[in-house]
Amino acid sequence: MIRFDDPARPARLARSAAALLLLGAVVACGDMDRAADADPETDVAPADRTTAQLLVSPETHVAPAARLEIVSPGDGHRFAEGDSIPVQFNLGGFELRAPTPSGDERGLARAPDGQHIHLIVNDGAYRAIYDIDQPIMVGGLSAGTHAIRAFPGRDWHESVKTPEAFAQILVVVGDAELDTYIGPVVVYSRPQGVYEGPDADSILVDFYVDNIELGDDAYQILFTLNGGQTFRITEWQPYLLVGLEAGEHTLRMELFDPLGEPVETPYLPVERTFEIRR
């Protein structure tokens, strides 16, 4: 049902070659400046030396048995405009509302109600789901095709990155034709919302990857903070933003293919605004 490639969607011929790979160490803004200066073809502005740093998050608590499935509606199901869509989940190997082991020492914002499911429609902000005994109602969708995506989240909001933890279906609303093209799947998760006090010291940057691989010679993700500072990602793991000042911030997530060309899909790129309160 879901198509990965679509020859009717031409790629824009552009290259982006700034920002160092972040693997296990603090990325100094000065190092990012030198990387940009060394590459005459870069189209990404050097980072301001006073801006934030991106760190690799500590090793995660593994949940290898987590299995999430969208039982209903079926993939490709059609709904009338104005209808609310009942989404029924089946979850195994992962306990909702439980505190995640090893969470206390992380210093990250945590959900007071424990582990949950991240429910995302298209490229929107996620909705935390703590109970799935009854269908979850999704409403307010415009006419057209929509992707309903979900994955389990630990109580500090990090996604469970195991093969069977991701669920996705397409639904169509109204009389529009079902568009089965979805492209490479990279789903933005965090940051979102408001961070206050100690929760603002380390901000989780997290996303979900499906049907592609990241790597030096594979797909790569580029995060742009506040329209300037950039971070290039080649490993699927959680990251931490530190050193953010109070106020609103934007984080833009883009995907580049193995040839360095930007990937545009109905759900990429995506940009989110979040707030720091000190």
Domain that residue 231 falls in: 29-58+183-277
The residue among 173, 196, 217 that closes a domain is 173
pLDDT for res 42: 30
pLDDT per residue as tens digits for the range 172-201: 999 999 999 999 999 999 999 999 999 999
Helix or strand holding residue 37 (H, E): helix 29-38
pLDDT per residue as tens digits for the range 218-274: 999 999 999 999 999 999 999 999 999 999 999 999 999 999 999 999 999 999 999
Same domain, 103 and 236: no
pLDDT for res 31: 32
Average pLDDT, the chain: 84
Position 163 confidence tier, pLDDT thresholds 50, 70, 90: confident
Rounded to an integer, the average pLDDT of 14-39 is 31
Q: CA neighbours within 13 Å on the CB side: how many for 211? A: 12
Residue 59: pLDDT over 70: no
The residue among 173, 194, 209 that closes a domain is 173
Domain presence at residue 9: no
DSSP per residue, 133-150: SSPEEE--PPSEEEEEEE
Query: Highest mean pLDDT range out of 30-39, 45-54, 179-188?
Result: 179-188
Residue 5: pLDDT over 80: no
Same domain, 80 and 164: yes
Position 102 confidence tier, pLDDT thresholds 50, 70, 90: confident
Q: Write the DSSP symbol of residue 232.
A: E
What residues contact 149, with CB distance under 8 A and at least 6 apart? 119, 120, 121, 166, 167, 168, 185, 187, 208
Same domain, 166 and 195: no
- Range 32-41 contact pairs with CB under 8 angstroms and sequence separation of 24 or more: 32/229, 32/230, 41/15, 41/17
Domain presence at residue 4: no
Q: Is 165 exposed, middle or buried (0-12, 13-18, 19+ CB in 10 A)?
A: buried
Domain presence at residue 14: no
Question: Whose CA is closest to 81, among 183, 171, 9, 163?
Answer: 171
Same domain, 122 and 151: yes
Domain presence at residue 115: yes
Position 107 confidence tier, pLDDT thresholds 50, 70, 90: confident
Same domain, 158 and 201: no
Q: Do residues 102 and 198 make contact, with C-beta atoms less than 8 angstroms apart?
A: no
The proportion of the chain whose per-residue pLDDT surpasses 70, expressed as a percent, equals: 79
Domain presence at residue 119: yes
Whole-model pTM over 0.85: no
Query: Number of folded domains in the chain?
Result: 2
Q: Do residues 73 and 87 make contact, with C-beta atoms less than 8 angstroms apart?
A: yes
**48 or 186, which is more confident?**
186
Rg (CA), the chain: 19
Q: Do residues 125 and 192 make contact, with C-beta atoms less than 8 angstroms apart?
A: yes
Residue 151: pLDDT over 80: yes
pLDDT per residue as tens digits for the range 117-146: 999 999 999 999 999 999 999 999 999 999
Name the 3-class secondary structure at 121. Answer: strand
Same domain, 159 and 121: yes
The CA distance from 203 to 221, in Å, is: 18
Position 2 confidence tier, pLDDT thresholds 50, 70, 90: low
Read off φ and ψ for residue 241, nearest 5 degrees: -95, 125
Q: What angle do CA 50, 54, 59 make, to 5 degrees?
A: 155
pLDDT for res 29: 34
The CA distance from 86 to 84, in Å, is: 6
User: What CATH number did the domain enclosing 265 receive?
Assistant: 2.60.40.10
Same domain, 160 and 225: no
Residue 36: pLDDT over 50: no
Q: Do residues 225 and 34 make contact, with C-beta atoms less than 8 angstroms apart?
A: no
pLDDT per residue as tens digits for the range 193-223: 999 999 999 999 999 999 999 999 999 999 9
The residue among 142, 173, 204 that closes a domain is 173
Name the 3-class secondary structure at 98. Answer: coil
Read off φ and ψ for residue 122, nearest 5 degrees: 60, -120
